[in-house]
Structure 1
Amino acid sequence: MAENVAKKAHAIMISMPYQGHITPFVSLALKLASKGITITFVHLESVHHKLSKASHKADLFADATESGLDIRYATISDGFPLHHDRDLHPEKYWTTLLQIFPSYVDDFVGKLIRSDPQSLHFLVADTVYIWPAAIARNYNLINVSFYTSPALVFSLLYHLDLLRERGHFLRKDETAEIDYVPGVGSMKIRDLMTSLSKSSDITGNSLYKAFEEVKKADFILHNTVEELESDTLSALNKYQPNYAIGPINLSEASSVAVGRSLHAEVDLTKWLGSKPAGSVLYVSFGSVVQTSKEVIGEIAHGLRLSEVNFIWVARAHLTASGDSNVLPDGFVEEVGDRGLIVPWCDQISVLSDPAVGGYLTHCGWNSVVESMWCGIPMICFPVTYDQPTVRKLVVSDWEIGIDLGDAATVDREGVAEKVRNLMSGGASEKMRKEAAKVKQMVRGAVEADGSSSVNNFNRFIVDLKNKLCIN
C-alpha cells in the first residue's frame, strides 16, 4: 500500500463509437482530469477521422491539455478500413465489432500498462460493451462502467432474467404490464427497448451479455439526475455502487473546447434571430437511427400543414435506403423561409435560442437531456434501441412531452395536429410549466457544490481513490 501512495491514478477510457456516447464520455474525461487524474482517451480510428474532419483538429484534446489537464489521446482500429461505410448497415457493423474489437482493446491496454508502470491504471468503459470485465480481470484493473442512458433503461436490462422468467422478454402483448422490477414503477411492454423484441436480435443478445458482465464492475456511473430517477437508483445501489453524475455533458467541466461532433455544424443564429420567440420547432432524429422514406414524407407533410416555423436536421443515412434525397418533391420550395433544412448543427445552441419553442425528437437520451436543460417540451417519435423507454419517461413520468406514435401509425394530419398542440395548443401551457420545473432540477444537479450530481461525483472520486489505495 505504501508503494501506491506516490503513484497517480490513470484512467483508460473507451466509449462506443456513436455521438450519444462520445459526447458524455468526453465530458467525463474532462471532469476526471479536473480532479487530477491522468486520462488516456481512446477513440476508434474511424471516429477520430470524422471528429478531426469536423473540428479541423488532429489532437482533439489539445485545448484541454494546454489548460493544464493531463489527457493523452490515442486511437485504435475497429478492424475495418477508413472508407468502410459504418452508418449504412449499423447492425451488421456492430455484429462484426463485437467479434474482433475486444482483441484490439486487450492489446492496447496491455501495451499502455507496460509502458507506464508507475501509474495506477483503471478502466472506464461503456456499459454496453461486452468485454470490460474480462479485460479488467486480465490486467487486475478497477472496472468503472459508464452508462450514458437513463437509469430506467439500465435497470430493465440489469433485470433481464426477471423479464425472461415472466415471459416479457419477447414483446408479444404490448398492453401487458410490467410491475415487478425493483425500483421501477408499472410500465407496458410497448415501453421496452426494441432490442428485446426478438430473440435473434444481435443487439438484444449483446446487451444481455453486457449486463451480465456489468454486474462484475467495481463502480457504475450514470448520466442521469438522482432527483429524476431516485427510486430506480436507490434499488440499484443495493447490488453495486451506482452514482448519478449527470448531465455530465452540460456540467462546468464540459465547457473546455474538445472536438466531439461527428459532423460539421451549420450556424443557425441568423435564421433563428429572424423568428419570434418560441415560434420554432426543432426537428432531429439524432446521428444514427434510420426510418423509411414514407415516414419522412408524412412528417414533412405534417410540418407543412402545421404552418409552424421549423428547423429540420436531415442528415445523411436518415433512411435505411441510403437515399440522400428523402424529402418530398417541392417540399423545400413550398415551406419557403418558414422551414430550414440543415445536415447538422450545434444542438444545445439551437435549443437554447429564445426562438425555439419545441422539439420533435427520436428520444435519444442526449437529445432529451439537452431539451430538459433548456426547458423545451417535446414531441416523441421513438424509432429504435432504448427510445421507446425514454419516451415513457418524457410523456408519462415527467409529463414534458407528447407521443407522436411510431412508424406504423404516423400520418401527416396527426403530425400537424400534435405540432400545433405542442407549440400553441391546449397541451402547451401545462407542458411548459412542467418543463420549467425539470429544467430547474436538471441544472440544479450540476451547478453548485452540494447539489446531487456534484456530491455523487465527489463521492465516487473518494471511493475510487480508496480502492486504488491513494491518499
Structure 2
Amino acid sequence: MLYISASFHSMLTTHSQPHQVLSCSSISSVSLPVKKTRKRKMVSESLGHLFLISFPAQGHVNPLLRLGKILASKGFLVTFSTTETIGEQMRKASGIIDKLTPFGDGFIRFEFFEDGWEQDEPRRQDLDQYLLQLELVGKQVIPHMIKKNAEQGRPVSCLINNPFIPWVTDVATSLGLPSAMLWVQSCACFASYYHYYHGTVPFPDEEHPEIDVQLPCMPLLKHDEVPSFLHPTTPYPFLRRAILGQYKNLDKPLCILMETFDELEPDLIKHMSEIFPIKAVGPLFRNPK
C-alpha cells in the first residue's frame, strides 16, 4: 500500500501545484464545531486533489472507491464521482454523505451527476446506447464540476477513471490535467486485450475458433483460456466492444494503475511497462484502516 502513495504522489507533484501533505489525525470526524470545520477546509485545500470518475456499476465502483480510500488515507483529497443513480444506492447502503470527510491523513468526498435519462428509460438495457449517452453527458458535466471545485478552492490535480468511460481521458486533456486509468483485472488480461485490439497475434475467430494463442512473456494459451469476451462464441459482444474502447485512448493517460502486484506477474508487467507506464497497485481487496 505504501508503494501506491510514494510512486503516485511523486508523479502527481510534477503535474500540479506544490502542496503540503498534512496530518489530519487530530481533526475529529464527528460533531465538529465551526472553528474545526474551518480548519478542516483549510487543510483540505492544501492537499493534492484527485478526482475519481467511475462507470456506474457495482463491479466498477467498488475497486475504484477502495483505491480512492487508500489514496485519501495517504494524504490526498479524493473526490469520488459517478451517476446519481449509484449515488442514491451508496447513500442507502453505506450512509455516505456528500460533505468533506476526514480519512486517514487526507479527505474523501462524493459528488454525483445525472446521466440524463429517466430510470425507466428502455435504452438503459442497451449498453452500446448507454455508453454513448454517458459520454455525451459526461463530457459536458465533468468539466463543469472540475471548474466548480477550482472556484471553491479545491483545484483538481488529476482525473482517474476505470474502463468503459475512456472519454474521461479526453476531458482531462482538454482541461490540461493528467489522468490515470484503473484496470481491475490482471496484467495478463490487459495484455490479451491489447494484442487482440492491435492484431499483433492471431486469436480464435469464426474460421479458426480453436487456435491457441502465444503472447509475449506468457505461456501458451489454449483457445478456451483467452478472456471469454474475446472468443467468437461470446454471448456478450457488446462487453468486448466496451472493454476494447478503452484501448483507443491508452496513449494519453499519465499511467495505468493495475490491480496486480509485481511478484505475481513480474516478467509480463515489465514487458507491458515498455509499452505503457504501468503502476501495480494491488491487491485492493482490503480497505485501509
TM-score range, shorter-chain basis? 0.7 to 0.9
Using the TM superposition, give the Cα deviation of residue 51 of structure 1 relative to its aligned residue in structure 2, in angstroms.
Answer: 1.9
Cα distance in 1 for residues equivalent to 2:147 and 2:55: 20
Are the aligned partners of 1:174 and 1:190 in contact in 2 as well (CA < 8 Å)? no
Cα distance in 2 for residues equivalent to 1:29 and 1:151: 21
Match of 2:186 in 1: 150
Match of 1:168 in 2: 203
Cα distance in 2 for residues equivalent to 1:14 and 1:208: 19
Are the aligned partners of 1:183 and 1:233 in contact in 2 as well (CA < 8 Å)? no
Are the aligned partners of 1:20 and 1:148 in contact in 2 as well (CA < 8 Å)? no
Are the aligned partners of 1:223 and 1:246 in contact in 2 as well (CA < 8 Å)? yes
Are the aligned partners of 1:40 and 1:74 in contact in 2 as well (CA < 8 Å)? yes
Residue 17 of structure 2 corresponds to residue 4 of structure 1: yes
Match of 2:89 in 1: 50
Q: 1:95 to 1:53 in 2, by over 3 A?
A: same
Match of 1:374 in 2: none
Question: Paired residue for 2:221, among 152, 164, 187?
Answer: 187
In structure 2, what residue type is equivalent to 1:59? Answer: I
Match runs of 1:25-104 below 5 Å? 25-55=64-94, 57-59=95-97, 65=102, 69-82=106-119, 84=121, 90=127, 93-94=130-131, 96-104=133-141
Using the TM superposition, give the Cα deviation of residue 49 of structure 1 relative to its aligned residue in structure 2, in angstroms.
Answer: 1.4
SS where residue 251 of structure 2 aligns? helix
Match of 1:112 in 2: 149
1:299-341 Cα offsets, whole Å, 9 max, x none, are xxxxxxxxxxxxxxxxxxxxxxxxxxxxxxxxxxxxxxxxxxx
Q: 1:182 to 1:129 in 2, by over 3 A?
A: farther
Match of 1:243 in 2: 279
Using the TM superposition, give the Cα deviation of residue 121 of structure 1 relative to its aligned residue in structure 2, in angstroms.
Answer: 1.5
Match of 2:259 in 1: 223
SS where residue 75 of structure 1 aligns? coil
Cα distance in 2 for residues equivalent to 1:171 and 1:8: 53
Higher helix share: 1
Are the aligned partners of 2:169 and 2:179 in contact in 1 as well (CA < 8 Å)? yes
Using the TM superposition, give the Cα deviation of residue 112 of structure 1 relative to its aligned residue in structure 2, in angstroms.
Answer: 2.8
SS where residue 8 of structure 1 aligns? coil
Cα distance in 2 for residues equivalent to 1:37 and 1:130: 24
Q: 1:85 to 1:41 in 2, by over 3 A?
A: farther
Cα distance in 2 for residues equivalent to 1:167 and 1:196: 12
SS where residue 154 of structure 1 aligns? helix
1:380-407 Cα offsets, whole Å, 9 max, x none, are xxxxxxxxxxxxxxxxxxxxxxxxxxxx
In structure 2, what residue type is equivalent to 1:155? Answer: A
Are the aligned partners of 1:149 and 1:222 in contact in 2 as well (CA < 8 Å)? yes
Cα distance in 1 for residues equivalent to 2:192 and 2:140: 29
Cα distance in 1 for residues equivalent to 2:155 and 2:183: 25
Q: 1:85 to 1:244 in 2, by over 3 A?
A: farther
Q: Please say which of residues 87-96 and 226-235 is displaced more in the overlay.
A: 87-96
SS where residue 177 of structure 1 aligns? coil
SS where residue 175 of structure 1 aligns? coil
Match of 1:341 in 2: none
Cα distance in 2 for residues equivalent to 1:234 and 1:170: 29
Match of 1:24 in 2: 63
Cα distance in 2 for residues equivalent to 1:88 and 1:103: 23
Q: 1:66 to 1:36 in 2, by over 3 A?
A: closer
Are the aligned partners of 1:175 and 1:189 in contact in 2 as well (CA < 8 Å)? yes
Cα distance in 1 for residues equivalent to 2:221 and 2:139: 35
Using the TM superposition, give the Cα deviation of residue 86 of structure 1 relative to its aligned residue in structure 2, in angstroms.
Answer: 8.6
Match runs of 1:369-408 below 5 Å? none
Q: 1:105 to 1:172 in 2, by over 3 A?
A: farther
In structure 1, what residue type is equivalent to 2:176? Answer: N
1:339-373 Cα offsets, whole Å, 9 max, x none, are xxxxxxxxxxxxxxxxxxxxxxxxxxxxxxxxxxx
Q: 1:236 to 1:166 in 2, by over 3 A?
A: closer
Are the aligned partners of 1:45 and 1:82 in contact in 2 as well (CA < 8 Å)? no
Are the aligned partners of 1:151 and 1:229 in contact in 2 as well (CA < 8 Å)? yes
Are the aligned partners of 2:51 and 2:160 in contact in 1 as well (CA < 8 Å)? yes
Cα distance in 1 for residues equivalent to 2:99 and 2:268: 35
Structure 1 unmatched ranges of 5 or more: 256-471
In structure 1, what residue type is equivalent to 2:212? Answer: E
Using the TM superposition, give the Cα deviation of residue 12 of structure 1 relative to its aligned residue in structure 2, in angstroms.
Answer: 0.4
Using the TM superposition, give the Cα deviation of residue 197 of structure 1 relative to its aligned residue in structure 2, in angstroms.
Answer: 4.2
Cα distance in 1 for residues equivalent to 2:113 and 2:135: 15
Structure 2 unmatched ranges of 5 or more: 1-13, 20-45
Cα distance in 2 for residues equivalent to 1:202 and 1:193: 14
Q: 1:121 to 1:73 in 2, by over 3 A?
A: same
Q: 1:9 to 1:205 in 2, by over 3 A?
A: same
Match of 2:3 in 1: none
How many residue pairs match? The answer is 247
1:140-159 Cα offsets, whole Å, 9 max, x none, are 11111111111111111222
SS where residue 102 of structure 2 aligns? helix
SS where residue 160 of structure 2 aligns? strand
Using the TM superposition, give the Cα deviation of residue 120 of structure 1 relative to its aligned residue in structure 2, in angstroms.
Answer: 5.2
In structure 2, what residue type is equivalent to 1:242? Answer: I
Q: 1:212 to 1:41 in 2, by over 3 A?
A: same
Using the TM superposition, give the Cα deviation of residue 193 of structure 1 relative to its aligned residue in structure 2, in angstroms.
Answer: 3.1
